[in-house]
Structure 1
Amino acid sequence: DGTLHIYETATGKAMPDSIAHVQYPTAGGSAAWNVDGTGIYYTRFPRKGERPDADLNFYQQIYFHKLGTADTEDTYSLGKDFPRIAEIKLEASRDGKFILATVANGDGGDFAHYLLGPDGSWKQITQFNDQIKLARLGRDNALYLLSRADAPRGKILRLPLDNPELANATVIVPPSDPVIQFMEPTASALYVGDLLGGPSQIRRFGLDGKNETLIPIPKISAVSEMESLDDNSLLFRDVSYTEPAAWFKVASGKIEPVKTALVNTSPVSFADIEVTREFASSKGDTEVPLNIVRRKGTKPDGNNPTLLYGYGGYGISMTPNFDFTRRLWFDRGGVYVVANIRGGGEFGEDWHKAGNLTKKQNVFDDFAAATEYLIKQKWTRPEKLALQGGSNGGLLMGAMITQHPDLMRAVVSAVGIYDMLRVELAPNGAFNVTEFGTVKNPEQFKALYAYSPYHNVVDDTKYPSILMMTGANDGRVAPYHSRKMVARLDEANKSSNPILLRTSSSAGHGIGTALSERIKQLSDQYSFLFAQLDMHAKK
Structure 2
Amino acid sequence: MTDKTSRAVPVENFHGVLVADPFRWLEDPMSDETKEFVRNQNVQTREVLDALTVRHSIRKRLETLWRLPQYFTPVKAAGRLFFLQNDGQKNQPALYVVDADQAGDTPRLLVDPNQMSDNGTVALTQYSVRRDGTKVAYATAKGGSDWQIIRVVDVESGENETDFIQWCKFTTPAWHPDGSGFFYTRFPERDESGVADQSQNAAVYFHVLGTDQSADELVYARPDAPELGFYPHVSHDGKYLFLHVTKGTDRETRLYVRELEGSGEWQRVLDKGDAKYSLLGNEGSRVYIQTDLDAPKGRIVSFDLRSPEPEHWTEVVAEQDLPLTYADFAKDALLLLYLQDAHHVMKVRQLSSGDDYEVELPTVGSITGLFCSQRDEDAYFGLTSFLYPVSVFHLNIATGAVSSVWDASAAFDVSPYVTKQVFYESKDGTKVPMFLTHRRDLALNSDNPVLITGYGGFNISRTPAFSPAALQFVEQGGVYALANLRGGSEYGEAWHRAGMLENKQNVFDDFQSAAEYLIREGYTRPERTAIIGGSNGGLLVAACMLQRPDLYGAVVCQVPVIDMLRYHRFTVGRYWVGEYGNAEENKEQFEFMYEYSPLHNVVQGRVYPPILITTADSDDRVVPSHPYKFTATLQAASPGVNPILLRVETEAGHGAGKPISKLIDEQTDIYAFLADTIGSGKVSE
TM-score bracket, shorter-length normalisation: over 0.9
Q: Which segment is superposed worse, 481-490 or 140-149?
A: 140-149
Aligned to 1:360: 504
Is the partner of 2:516 in helix, strand or coil? Answer: helix
Secondary structure, counterpart of 2:162 in structure 1: strand
Tell whether the 8 Å contact from 1:134 to 1:182 is kept in structure 2 after alignment: no
Aligned CA distance change for structure 1 residues 418 and 56 (closer, same or farther; 3 Å)? closer
Structure-1 residue corresponding to 2:200:
58
- Give the alignment of 1:419-458 within 5 angstroms: 419-439=563-583, 440-458=585-603
Aligned to 2:430: 286
Q: Deviations over 1:182-224 (max 9, x none)?
A: 1122222211110113101011112268212111214431112
Q: Does 1:515 align with 2:660?
A: yes
CA distance in 2, matches of 1:95, 1:412: 50
Cα distance in structure 2, aligned partners of 1:313 and 1:36: 42
1:309 is displaced (CA, Å) by 0.5
Q: Report the TM-score, using the length of structure 2 for normalisation.
A: 0.74
Measured against aligned partners, the alpha-carbon deviations of 1:117-144 in whole angstroms (never above 9, x if no partner) come to 2454332222253312422114676432
Q: Distance in 2 between matches of 1:486 and 1:62?
A: 41
Question: Could you list the per-position Cα deviations for residues 359-396 of structure 1 after superposition, in whole angstroms to 9, with x for gaps in the alignment?
Answer: 11111111111111111111111011000000000000
CA contact (8 A) 1:234 1:249 kept: yes
CA contact (8 A) 1:132 1:145 kept: no
Distance 1:286 1:48 in 2: 45
Q: 1:247 to 1:538 in 2, by over 3 A?
A: closer
Q: Is the 8 A contact 1:315 1:352 kept in 2?
A: yes
- CA deviation after TM superposition for structure 1 residue 453, in Å: 0.5
1:280 deviates by 1.5
Distance 1:241 1:513 in 2: 21
The reply on whether 1:97 has 2:239 as its aligned counterpart is yes
Residues 483-522 of structure 1 mapped to structure 2, 5 A cutoff: 483-494=628-639, 496-522=641-667
Aligned counterpart, 2:51: none
C-alpha distance after superposition, 1:452-483 (max 9, x if no partner): 00100001111001000010110001111111
Q: Aligned pair in 2 of structure 1 residues 32, 117: CA closer, same or farther (>3 Å)?
A: same
Matched, 1:117 2:262: no
Of 247, 267, 274, 2:392 maps to: 247
Shift of 1:298: 1.1
1:4 deviation in Å? Answer: 1.8
The alpha-carbon deviation at position 406 of structure 1 amounts to 0.7
Residue 12 in structure 1 maps to residue 158 in structure 2: yes
SS in 2 for 1:326: helix
Contact 1:463 1:495 in 2 (8 A): no
Contact 2:199–2:572 at 8 Å: present in 1 too?
no
Would you say the 8 A contact 1:59–1:82 is kept in 2? no
**Alignment check: 8 A CA contact 1:270 1:327 kept:** no
Residue 265 (structure 1) shift: 5.7
Q: Give the letter for the 2:515 counterpart.
A: T
SS at match of 2:463: coil
Contact 1:157 1:172 in 2 (8 A): yes
Provide the C-alpha distance between the structure 2 equivalents of 1:82 and 1:4, rounded to a whole number of angstroms: 27
Residues 262-411 of structure 1: pairs in structure 2 closer than 5 A: 262-264=406-408, 267-411=411-555
Q: How many Å separate the matches in 2 of 1:530 and 1:93?
A: 53
Contact 1:34/1:97, CA 8 A, preserved across alignment: no
How far 1:164 moved relative to its partner? 5.1
Q: Secondary structure at the match of 2:388?
A: coil
Moved more, 269-278 or 61-70: 61-70
Q: CA deviation at 1:5?
A: 1.4
Cα distance in structure 1, aligned partners of 2:239 and 2:200: 29
Mapped to 2, the partners of 1:6 and 1:202 lie a distance apart of: 34
Query: What is the CA–CA distance in structure 1 between the aligned matches of 2:254 and 2:224, rounded to whole Å?
Result: 10
Question: Take 1:160 and 1:272, find their aligned partners in 2: how far apart are those partners?
Answer: 55
Any conservation in 2 of the 1:331–1:537 contact (CA below 8 Å)? no
- Secondary structure in 1 matching 2:389: coil
The answer to whether the 8 Å contact 1:275/1:291 transfers is yes
Q: TM-score, structure 1 length as denominator? A: 0.93
1:182 aligns with 2:305: no
- Give 1:266 deviation, angstroms: 6.8
Q: 2:294 aligns with which of 150, 157, 160?
A: 150
Contact persistence 1:139–1:186 (CA under 8 A):
no
Match of 1:258 in 2: 403
SS at match of 2:444: coil
CA offsets 1:58-97 (integer angstroms, 9 cap, x no match): 1111112222332222222112156333333222223333
Worse overlay, 337-346 or 358-367: 358-367
**Cα pair 1:125 1:166 within 8 Å, conserved:** no
**What is the CA-CA distance between 1:165 and the residue it aligns to?**
5.2
Counterpart position of 2:80 = none
**Number of corresponding residues:** 531
- Does residue 465 in structure 1 map to residue 610 in structure 2? yes
Distance in 1 of aligned mates of 2:239 and 2:300: 23
Alignment map for 1:44-55 (pairs within 5 Å)? 44-47=186-189
Distance 1:183 1:385, change over 3 A: same
| Counterpart code for 2:393 | F
Q: 1:433 to 1:208 in 2, by over 3 A?
A: farther
What is the rounded CA distance, in whole Å, between the counterparts of 2:401 and 2:353 in structure 1?
20
Q: Give the aligned residue type for 2:293.
A: A
Corresponding letter in the other structure for 1:13: E
5+ long unaligned stretches in structure 2:
1-146
Please report how far the alpha carbon of residue 31 of structure 1 lies from its aligned counterpart in structure 2 after TM superposition: 1.9
Distance 1:348 1:278 in 2: 20
Contact 2:675 2:682 in 1 (8 A): no
Q: Pick one of 54, 75, 79 that aligns with 2:217.
A: 75
The DSSP-based 3-state class of the residue aligned with 1:216 is: coil
The alpha carbon displacement at 1:537 in A equals 3.5
Deviates further, 165-174 or 507-516: 165-174
| Paired residues of 2:197 and 2:572 also in contact (CA < 8 A) | no
Offset at 1:536?
A: 2.2
Q: Does 1:475 align with 2:617?
A: no
Aligned partners of 2:241 and 2:260 also within 8 Å: no
Deviation at 1:271, TM superposition (A): 2.2
Query: Identity of counterpart residues, as a percentage?
Result: 33
Further displaced range: 162-171 or 57-66: 162-171
Does the CA contact (< 8 Å) of 2:387 and 2:471 recur in 1? no
Q: Secondary structure at the match of 1:245?
A: strand
Contact 1:506 1:517 in 2 (8 A): no
- Any idea what the Cα deviations from partners look like across 1:233-256, whole Å, max 9, x if unmatched? 322221111111112222233234
| CA contact 1:192–1:204 (8 Å) conserved in 2 | yes
Tell me how far 1:48 sits from its aligned partner. 8.1
CA RMSD of aligned residues (A): 2.2
AA of the residue aligned to 2:168? V
Q: Which runs of 5+ in 1 are unaligned?
A: none
- SS for the counterpart of 1:360 is helix
